[in-house]
């Protein structure tokens, strides 16, 4: 009987020890699983963090507009503007002359006739250059010639303004109007030729100015 009791007691103890060992092993397995799960979850998190870092907006380079000087384009546009000056002069001259009273307003009549004559001459020069003018095939030589021509024309324009001023100051009424027309034409042409001279003689400056200067784009770029 004692042996049976002792045997049962030993079996009970053995069962408790076995149960405790199993419970401990089960706990360790769960802990390992949780740890593995946490480790597995950190990988996607790290990838997500890495992706988030990669999605930062890239630095966008601002586009830069470069104006390329083209002497042939410049000369063509300048020629068209010259024709426009001629047409404007004819229109102003006809308007003034047609509304002037020859008896009472000789100055207005002279101004109108003078402007119309200047406009006719400018239109004739445009047509001659368009049909018979020669174009240098070397761009640099063409630019240098254009610079020289514009420079001389600017000086002549100033001389025309001075001469017109002298006629206006010292002439009688029949002459004053022609002096005024010469001053007006000289001022327009001096502005025109001076701008052409500056652009053609400083193509680097034209390029560096960029798109902010509208008349340079229209006059001297392609």
| Structural domains counted in the chain | 2
Q: Indicate if 132 and 216 belong to the same structural domain.
A: yes
Do both 82 and 172 map to the same domain? yes
Predicted TM-score (pTM) of the model is 0.64
Same domain, yes or no, for 87 and 182?
A: yes
Q: Which domain holds residue 32?
A: 1-52
Most confident by average pLDDT, 12-21, 38-47, 146-155: 146-155
Same domain, 183 and 139: yes
Residues 125-141: pLDDT tens digits? 999 999 998 888 899 99
**139-170 and 71-99 helices cross at what angle (nearest 10)?**
20
pLDDT of the residue at 62:
53
pLDDT score of 197 more than 80: yes
28 and 91: one domain?
Answer: no
Question: Is the domain of 43 the same as that of 114?
Answer: no
Is 161 domain-assigned?
A: yes
Pair (30, 85) in one structural domain: no
Per the CB < 8 A criterion, the answer to whether 176 and 114 are in contact is no
Q: How would residue 12 be classed by pLDDT, with cut points 50, 70 and 90?
A: very low
Please state, in angstroms and rounded to a whole number, the distance separating the CA atoms of residues 94 and 109: 9
Q: What Rg do the C-alpha atoms of the chain give, in angstroms?
A: 47
pLDDT for residue 175 is more than 50: yes
pLDDT digits 0-9 by tens, 67-78: 578 889 999 999
87 and 40 assigned to the same domain:
no
CB 190 within 8 A of CB 204: no
The per-residue pLDDT for 68 is: 73
pLDDT digits (tens, 9 = 90+) for 98-135: 998 766 689 999 999 999 999 999 999 999 999 998 88
Per-residue model confidence (pLDDT) at position 66: 56
pLDDT of residue 174: 84
């Amino acid at each position: 009987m004692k042996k049976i009791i002792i045997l049962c007691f030993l079996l009970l103890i053995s069962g408790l020890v076995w149960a405790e060992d199993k419970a401990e092993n089960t706990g360790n397995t769960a802990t390992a699983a949780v740890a593995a799960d946490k480790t597995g979850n950190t990988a996607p998190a790290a990838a997500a963090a890495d992706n988030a870092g990669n999605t930062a907006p890239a630095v966008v380079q601002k586009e830069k507009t470069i104006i390329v000087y083209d002497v042939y384009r410049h000369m063509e546009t300048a020629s068209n503007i010259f024709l426009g000056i001629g047409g404007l002069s004819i229109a102003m001259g006809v308007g003034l002359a047609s509304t002037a009273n020859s008896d009472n307003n000789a100055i207005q009549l002279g101004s109108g006739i003078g402007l119309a004559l200047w406009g006719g001459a400018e239109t004739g020069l445009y047509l001659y250059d368009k049909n018979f003018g020669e174009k240098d095939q070397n761009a640099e030589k063409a630019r240098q010639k254009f610079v020289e021509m514009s420079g001389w024309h600017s000086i002549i324009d100033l001389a025309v303004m001075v001469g017109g001023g002298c006629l206006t100051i010292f002439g009688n009424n029949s002459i004053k109007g022609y002096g005024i027309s010469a001053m007006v034409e000289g001022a327009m042409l001096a502005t025109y030729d001076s701008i052409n001279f500056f652009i053609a003689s400083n193509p680097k400056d034209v390029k560096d100015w960029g798109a902010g200067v509208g008349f340079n784009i229209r006059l001297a770029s392609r």
